[in-house]
Structure 1
Amino acid sequence: MFTELNTFLGFDHLKPPKGQFVLISDSLTDDSFLIHHFLSLYIKGGWKVCLLALAQSFGHYNAVGQKLGVHLSQAREKGQLRFIDGLKCSLQAYTCTTQEEQAQNPLRCLCDKKATLRPLYDQVKTLVCSEEGVLEGPTLLLVDDLSVLVSLGMSVKDVADFMHYCRVLMCPTLQSQGAIVSLVHKDADVEDEENSTLFRHMAYHSTVHLAVEGLSSGYSRDVHGQVTVTFRNVQDPSQPQTRMKTLQYKVEERNVSFFAPGTSRAVL
C-alpha cells in the first residue's frame, strides 16, 4: 500500500473509506496502480471486497497483488474477495449457444437490447450483502473499469443507472459501511462524447475524485505524473463544496511513491 497516499487521503487499512464514492480517472497515462492500491488496502485490513473486473483477468490482479504483499487467491478462497469476471461474461454474451446460458449471464444485455444491467446489479447485491440484504462491516465495490461497458455498446444512461443503484446499495450516506471505487478513462486527445458524458456524470456524483495525468512538461525519469484529488461535500451545503490538492508520483517495481509538487529527490 502507498503510505503517502493514505496519509494524504486520510485512509488506511484500519480505517478504510466508508460512505465514499471514489472516482479514478486518467488522461494519457495509466492509473491502474490506484485500483491495486484500494484493492490491497481492503484485503490487508481484512475487509470484504467485490471486484467487478471488466478490463483485466483475475490472474492479472493476483500477480500484481503478490508484488504488493497481498494474496488474492487466498482471499478469494476464504470468501473475503468476491470476483465477477466481466471479461469472461462479456465474451460469453456473444458466444452463448443456449437460452439457459444466456439467461445466466449478468451481461446478456450486450447482445440483447431489451435487457438491462439489472442482472449485474443483482449479482453485486448478492455478493456484498447478507441474507437480510445488508452490508456486514466495511465493504468495497471495485469497478475496473466503467468505460469498457460504453465501449461494448451500453448506453451512458444504462451505465449511469447501474452505478446509481450501486451507490444507493453501498454508500447512500457518509455513515454507510460500504464504499465504491470506480475507474473511467478521460483521454484528452480522444473525441469520445459518450465516454466524456459518462465521466462528467460520475465526477458529479463522486465524493472523492483522483485525476491522474502525465506531466505537461513531458517525460521525467524521477516524476511520472501527478494526481489531482478533489474532495466533494455532497451532503452539507453549509460547507465548502470542493477542496483540491495535488500530488506527484513515481512508479517503482513494488511501490508508488507520492510527494508534493517540486519535492522529488531529483529536485531536492
Structure 2
Amino acid sequence: MSAPISITGHFSNTVLRNLNISLENKIIFIKESPLADANFLISYILKSLVQENKNICFVTLHNNLEHYQSVGKKLGYNLECVNNDNFTLINPLENLIETLTEASLDSIFDSIQNEIRNFRKSNDRPIYVVIDDLSHFIDLGLDITEIIRFINDCVNLTSDPNTFFVINSHVSSQKDLILAHSVQYVCNLFINVSALKTGKSSDISGVIKIQKQDEENVYHYKVFDRGVKTFFPGETIYNFYK
C-alpha cells in the first residue's frame, strides 16, 4: 500500500510536490466546487512562495490578509515578516462602496501590471500573481465577458518568462461555471477541489483532482487545525496513526 502523503513541514516534502503541483506551471487554476473549500491550497502555495523568496502580488477578493497571516503562522510561515520588496497586496474591496465597474476591473489589471513592473525593477526573481477568488467579480455585479477579458489580459502577461499566475475560483452558479471553464481552457495545471459525492465524512474532507494535459490524478484529503493530510482513494485516514 502506498505511503500516506502529509503536507506538513518544509516545501521539499509538502503536498505541492507529492501531488506534483509544480509552481513552474505558468497558469495554475484551482476550481472550488460547491460545498468545498480550496483555501488550504492557496495557503500552502503562499508558504512555498514565501520560503523560496519569490515575488508575490496577492489579489484578495475573498479573505483578508489577516486571515492568511493567521493560517500562515499555523503552517510555519509569517507574511508579516516578508520583505516589502517581495510582497504586495491588491485589495479591490478595501474601499468599495458600490458595485465594481468595467473601469474598476481595468484599474485592477493596471495595478497588477504596475506591481509586476516594480518587481522587475527591484530584482530578477519570478513573479507570482495570486488571485483569490475570481468568482467574487461575478458576485459584485461585473459582466462575465468583462471578467473573461480581464483573464485574457492576465494571460498575456505570462508571455514574460518570469511571470506566473495562480487563480482560485468558486463555482456555485451557471455563470461561475462558465467563468471556470474559460480559465480552465487557458491554464497549464488544473486543480479541482470538491466535496465527496456520498456526502460528509468524518474521515475525508473532500477530493482533489489534478489535471495536466491528458493526465489526471485523484486524491482524498482531510483538513486538520494545523495542516492537511492527503491520501489515495481506497486508503484510510487511520493508516496515518499506525
TM-score range, shorter chain: 0.7 to 0.9
One-letter amino acid of the structure 2 residue matched with residue 142 of structure 1: V
Tell whether 2:159 aligns with 1:172. yes
CA–CA distance in structure 1, aligned partners of residues 206 and 119 of structure 2? 44
Q: Which residue of 2 aligns with 1:101?
A: none
Give 5+ residue unaligned stretches, structure 1: 12-16, 95-108, 233-241
One-letter amino acid of the structure 2 residue matched with residue 41 of structure 1: S
CA–CA distance in structure 2, aligned partners of residues 74 and 258 of structure 1? 29
CA–CA distance in structure 2, aligned partners of residues 132 and 4 of structure 1? 30
Q: Which residue of 2 aligns with 1:57?
A: 64
Q: Which residue of 2 aligns with 1:182?
A: 167
Q: Which residue of 1 aligns with 2:20?
A: 9
Using the TM superposition, give the Cα deviation of residue 32 of structure 1 relative to its aligned residue in structure 2, in angstroms.
0.7
- Match 1:159 to one of 135, 140, 147: 147
- Match 1:71 to one of 74, 78, 102: 78
Give 5+ residue unaligned stretches, structure 2: 1-5, 8-13
- Aligned in 2, Cα 1:37/1:163: closer, same or farther, shift over 3 Å? same
Q: Which residue of 1 aligns with 2:26?
A: 20
* Aligned positions, number: 228
Question: Residue by residue, what CA displacement relative to the aligned partner does 1:136-178 show, whole Å, maximum 9, x if unpaired?
Answer: 3212110011100011111111111111111211x237xx222
| 2:36–2:194 Cα contact (<8 Å) kept | yes
CA–CA distance in structure 1, aligned partners of residues 87 and 122 of structure 2? 17
Q: Which residue of 2 aligns with 1:47?
A: 54
| 1:186–1:199 Cα contact (<8 Å) kept | yes
- Aligned in 2, Cα 1:134/1:118: closer, same or farther, shift over 3 Å? farther
Q: How does 1:1-268 map to 2 (within 5 A)?
A: 2=7, 3-11=14-22, 17-27=23-33, 28-75=35-82, 77-89=83-95, 91-92=96-97, 94=98, 110=100, 112=101, 115=103, 117-130=105-118, 136-169=124-157, 171-172=158-159, 176-187=161-172, 192-232=173-213, 242-266=214-238
**Secondary structure of the structure 2 residue equivalent to 1:248:** strand
| 2:85–2:119 Cα contact (<8 Å) kept | no
Using the TM superposition, give the Cα deviation of residue 116 of structure 1 relative to its aligned residue in structure 2, in angstroms.
5.4
- Aligned in 2, Cα 1:159/1:135: closer, same or farther, shift over 3 Å? farther
| 1:19–1:178 Cα contact (<8 Å) kept | no
CA–CA distance in structure 2, aligned partners of residues 51 and 138 of structure 1? 14
| 2:25–2:189 Cα contact (<8 Å) kept | no
Using the TM superposition, give the Cα deviation of residue 133 of structure 1 relative to its aligned residue in structure 2, in angstroms.
7.5
| 1:4–1:259 Cα contact (<8 Å) kept | no
CA–CA distance in structure 2, aligned partners of residues 152 and 247 of structure 1? 33
Q: CA RMSD in A?
A: 2.3
CA–CA distance in structure 2, aligned partners of residues 149 and 163 of structure 1? 12
Identity %: 24
| 2:134–2:168 Cα contact (<8 Å) kept | yes
One-letter amino acid of the structure 1 residue matched with residue 24 of structure 2: K
Question: Residue by residue, what CA displacement relative to the aligned partner does 1:230-260 show, whole Å, maximum 9, x if unpaired?
Answer: 113xxxxxxxxx2111011111111111111
Larger Rg: 1 or 2? 1
CA–CA distance in structure 2, aligned partners of residues 37 and 202 of structure 1? 21
One-letter amino acid of the structure 1 residue matched with residue 44 of structure 2: H
